[in-house]
Structure 1
Amino acid sequence: MTPQDASDAHNNRWSDLGRPPLNGAALRRALVREDGLWADVEVVQRTGSTNTDLAGLVTKENADEGAVLVAEEQNAGRGRLDRRWTAPARSGLFFSVVLKPTGVPVERWGWLPLLTGVAVAAALARTAGVDTALKWPNDLLVTVDGEERKVGGILAERAGADAVVVGIGINVTLRAEELPVPGAGSLALAGATTTDRDTVLRAVLRSLEEWYGRWRDALGDPVASGLQEAYTAACATLGRAVRAELPGGRSIVGEAVAVDGDGRIVIATEDGVQEPVGAGDVVHLRAV
């Protein structure tokens, strides 16, 4: 195969028949409704980061709430703490959405990544038959060969004065030899009943629309909307011994005992102090 042949094969959306391309027109017909949240669904073959692209549209063109951008491949995808997110073309779902929670106090916007996790986990369980747990604050976990593996992540970023761009990445058909790190997984490796990305994406966006609407109607109240209860039930971090790496280089070790009303994880240390953590990297040490 010549270098040009290799390039053509990479750029051909049908080069891997087990990973067919998404149909943007069909997704728009299924998801965009006059009275619904989703205003548009655009599918691009390749981009650096869907979050970066949508945030730019918000700040430059005041993109509407409900804009959805899906990339078949990202070459500069980002997770929390600027970690890279890479995967083969069409092996997963890599997309971002614009949310403008008008009427919800800004101090409650921190629930949006947790809300997204609840919505995604519900959709994956219902559609793909995969039990999905949530690692605070933004990781999606599945079980592969008896081990806890990360199947996806969520990144929420402020864009302009009134918008949040929420990015979601889910490994769908990644094979064992394609996993970027030992702790990664995919829906396929977790025994999903379907790996049809079109079906999974529709389910995730519908679930997100439902949970976002419930939360926004409750003016962001995590109790009244049922969000705090649902997140607590799905959170694999609770009841675990954890280490939280905090901004500034400080770390604390203890048991994760609660998620408080601000969406923070509360860690009980050996000194008997319960410390809420709102930002940082949490590592699961062992089951308690």
Structure 2
Amino acid sequence: MKILVTGATGFVGRNVVRQLAEAGVDVRATTRRPEGRHGFPAHVEVAGADLDRPQTLLPALEGVEALYLFPVEATARAVVELAREAGVRRIVDLSAASVSVGLHVNPVEAVVEESGLEWTHVRPAGFMANMLQLWAPMVRAERVVRYPFADEPANLVHEADIAAVAVKALLEDGHHGRAYTITGPASWTVREQVEAIASALGEPVRYEEVTREEARRLLKAQGGFAAEAADLMLGFSDYDGSAAGGADGYSDQDWSALERPWPDLEQVLGRPGRTYAEWARDHAEDFR
């Protein structure tokens, strides 16, 4: 089986590529910049393609039986149709746990379901890895995290666990027509997350609780993903980009159902998900 991985340089996609390669699968990874290896295993084929321009995927789809689909709503229908015409028989798409609890609608899921191909939706809760882009610059520069929500619990999931569920669905039968809600094994407060990062570093990391407005200013100043995601992460906007309802940013959305662990990950993998402390140890050098 040849498997095509789109979004292959992202947090989850990179892990999908690595885990498939470790399983001995014939993997082709797409990137807009194929001239670099991007840390992929040596025997992984790297193909140039851009999901924003679906026709660029045609060479990469040749001989492919299964597709890991990174969701780009604007071009999803064209990408899925090209995959179907190329002979792809199975699609596993990356979605979000917010869909499972009715807080978000992902049109990409509908496109995949309508394709007539085997499909599986992987719906992760918040990424632990987001903190690499939100907090790591602060930790590297000053050994401090300035952020609100000190003692509010959040269930976050290790990107390698999200990938492991996707890999199972790509390689094994029995996952067609399933939507897996992927969470971590427990919720962690911001204060506890910072403590876990400090423990992984073996150095003190100070936590300073700030208002949402101050955190927004700090993240916007960082630029990149932090600036782009600040309004959503801090509750100033909803998934559709509209302003969130109340003073705390969350009054119109009930996230409590995603604070508890869901059983899907353990049912698929036969083991619990990795904890935040494990994730922090895995990424200690990124914070150092």
Higher helix share: 2
Higher strand share: 1
Q: Which has the higher contact order (CA 8 A, sep 6+)?
A: 2
Q: Please tell me the TM-score bracket, short chain as reference.
A: under 0.3
**TM-score where L is the length of structure 1:** 0.21
